[in-house]
Amino acid sequence: MTDAQPDVIVIGAGILGASTAFHLAERGYRVVVLDRGAPNREGSGTTAGNLHIQAIHTRRPGQEVPVDSARLLPLQRRASEHWSQIEERLDADVELRRGGGFMVAETAAQEEELREKHEWEHRVGIRTEVLTGDEARNHMPLLSDRVRAASWCSLDGYANPLLITPAYLTAARRLGAQLHAFTPVTGIQRVGDGYKVLSGDRSWTAPSVVNVAGPWITEISELAGIHVRMSPVAIQMHVTVRVPPVMHHLVQHIGEGLSVKQVSAGNLLIGGGWPAAALDMAGRSTVSPVSMAGNLAQAGRILPFLGGLRLLRMWAGPLAATPDEMPVIGEVPGHPGFFVAGGTYAFTLAPVWGDTLCRQIAGEPPADPVDDLGPDRLLYNAATTPVSP
């Protein structure tokens, strides 16, 4: 069975797919969004929902290759502009909170990292301030005496990951986009100047395909004969019982994986990229008690009041990491009309990536250059063994 033919087929209904569908539909493109399961079910719905506008730590726990944080700052600045308008554009409450954030340091070396990143931020127009530990505690007495210094950014914040993706999809559908959940892609064929995407006995043909399938980017690309190196992992989150409002800022650690905030419901959400016990691409990944103990001990060291709160639950979610730990976005060389996007900072950068993909499909330059983040660096010949960067 062949459905009505769109201009663009978006594969993946997480936050990147939803943002892309919205930006395209807003421009008048006919868009079909396909997802293997329920929208927002995987990484996008299990993330912490942080808005990282100041640069963060360069490594998750267990991460071998550091993120080039300075490179991403212009994109984070652009993301901040998008997020400031997002609820109005989508006509939806996504529990956007811009209460600002502290990036803390415990050692002299970590304090020097704070000062270095402050210079990077200053150069791209992101306003941050480096404070002594005492100055930071004057603003936020919950911080422990172990905090030697902290970087403050008033633009950091949070959006509810369970609300933002549905809001994007609802807005896209109001503009004519079609969403097909529980529609796994089973084949992708080159047909003339476009692509035929199959799901069982159904098919859609369009000039452009956008692969934003998260950890399944490699799997979907293979169906089109494209071999993309990805390194998907599973990370886990921890949430406490609800308490009255006590914490109004995002707190992160410059040298270790840590993020803590109090969400609108009153729970304290503790994350920072700690790995789950296993990545299960077919079902639910298994949480790690070791990572739980490490993450909670670290959080309690920086914010001692957390030690008195009961842990309510923890969960794991997949992350679409790349071998060089940098985002990937753009048209695949040799496959005109086939685009991929994903990787680091995906939640924060989702509005930027949706806008960027829309511009690229329209043949326009993106608002910020992204050529160095294109998929060419991740391609390899199927007949050879991929080499790590």
Confidence at residue 111, expressed as pLDDT on a 0 to 100 scale: 97
Confidence of residue 61 (pLDDT cuts 50, 70, 90): confident
The CATH number of whichever domain residue 52 belongs to comes to 3.50.50.60
- Out of 304, 319, 334, a domain closes at 319
- Asked if 306 and 297 count as a contact pair (C-beta separation under 8 A), the reply is no
Interatomic CA distance for residues 61 and 43, integer angstroms: 18
pLDDT of residue 387: 40
Across the range 17-43, mean pLDDT stands at 94
**What pLDDT is stored for residue 283 in this prediction?**
63
Same domain, 182 and 93: yes
Q: Can you tell me which residue has the tokens 């949706």?
A: 354
pLDDT digits (tens, 9 = 90+) for 176-198: 999 999 999 999 999 999 999 99
Residue 196's closest CA among 22, 34, 16?
Answer: 34
CATH of the domain at 125: 3.30.9.10
pLDDT of 116 above 50: yes
Look-up: residue for tokens 């999809």? Answer: 169
pLDDT band at 4 (very low <50, low <70, confident <90, very high): low
Distance CA 274, CA 294 (A): 8
- By CB atoms closer than 10 A (0-12, 13-18, 19+), residue 144 is middle
Predicted model pTM: 0.93
241 and 371, same domain (yes or no): no
Residue 67, helix vs strand vs coil: coil
What band does 388 get if pLDDT is binned at 50, 70 and 90?
Answer: very low
**Mean pLDDT of the residues in the chain:** 92
Query: Are residues 35 and 166 part of one domain?
Result: yes
From 319, 349, 380, the end of a domain falls on: 319
Q: Are residues 219 and 289 in the same domain?
A: no
Residues 6+ apart with CB under 8 A from 162: 40, 45
Angle between helices 161-174 and 69-90 in degrees, nearest 10: 60
Overall domain count for the chain:
2
Query: Is 112 found in the same domain as 48?
Result: no
204/66: higher pLDDT: 204
Q: Model confidence at 298, in pLDDT bands (50, 70, 90)?
A: very high
Mapped onto helix, strand or coil, the DSSP state of residue 111 is helix
The mean pLDDT value for 232-249 works out to 92
The share of the chain scoring above pLDDT 70, in percent, equals 95
pLDDT(389) > 50: no
- Locate 295 and state its tokens: 């993450």
Q: Are residues 210 and 85 in the same domain?
A: yes
* Helices and strands: H and E segment counts in the chain: 9, 19
- What residues contact residue 45 under an 8 Å CB cut-off, 6+ apart? 14, 161, 162, 165, 317
Q: 279 with 341, same domain?
A: no
Which structural domain range is residue 46 located in?
1-97+156-231+321-389
Say yes or no to pLDDT of 66 above 90: no
Same domain, residue pair 168 and 276? no
H or E element: which one contains 242? none
**What is the reported pLDDT for 3?**
61
28, pLDDT greater than 80: yes
Summarize the confidence of residues 170-180 as an average pLDDT.
Answer: 97
* Terminal-to-terminal C-alpha distance of the chain: 43
Q: How far is the C-alpha of 381 from the C-alpha of 210, rounded, in Å?
A: 21
Mean pLDDT of 355-377: 97
Tens digit of pLDDT for each residue in 265-279? 999 999 988 888 877
Residue 64: per-residue pLDDT: 80
Could you tell me the maximum CA-CA distance found in the chain, to the nearest angstrom?
Answer: 67
In this structure, the answer to whether residues 78 and 202 fall within a common structural domain is: yes
C-alpha span between 259 and 233 (Å, rounded) = 18
From 319, 338, 357, give the residue that closes a domain. 319
Please give the share of the chain, as a percent, with pLDDT higher than 90. Answer: 80
Q: Are residues 50 and 163 in the same domain?
A: yes
Q: What is the mean pLDDT of residues 347-360?
A: 97
Q: How sure is the predictor about 341, in pLDDT bands with cuts at 50, 70 and 90? A: very high
pLDDT at 2: 53
Half-sphere exposure of 282 toward its Cβ, with a 13 Å CA cutoff?
Answer: 0
CB atoms within 10 A of CB 246: 12
Q: How confident is the model at residue 384 (pLDDT cuts 50, 70, 90)?
A: very low
Task: Please check the confidence at residue 281 and state whether its pLDDT lies above 80.
Answer: no
- Chain centroid offset of residue 144 CA: 29
**pLDDT given at position 132:** 98
Q: Which residue has the higher pLDDT, 82 or 273?
A: 82
Mean pLDDT throughout 15-30?
A: 97
Segment 11-24 shows an average pLDDT of 97
Looking at the structure, tell me whether residues 11 and 92 fall in a common domain. Answer: yes
Residue closest to 60 by CA, chosen among 251, 264, 295:
295
Pairing mode of beta strands 268-271, 178-180: unpaired
Examine the domain organization and report whether 288 and 325 are in the same domain: no
Query: Phi, psi (5° rounding) for residue 348?
Result: -60, -45
**What does the pLDDT average to over 32-36?**
97
Residue 130 is given by DSSP the state E
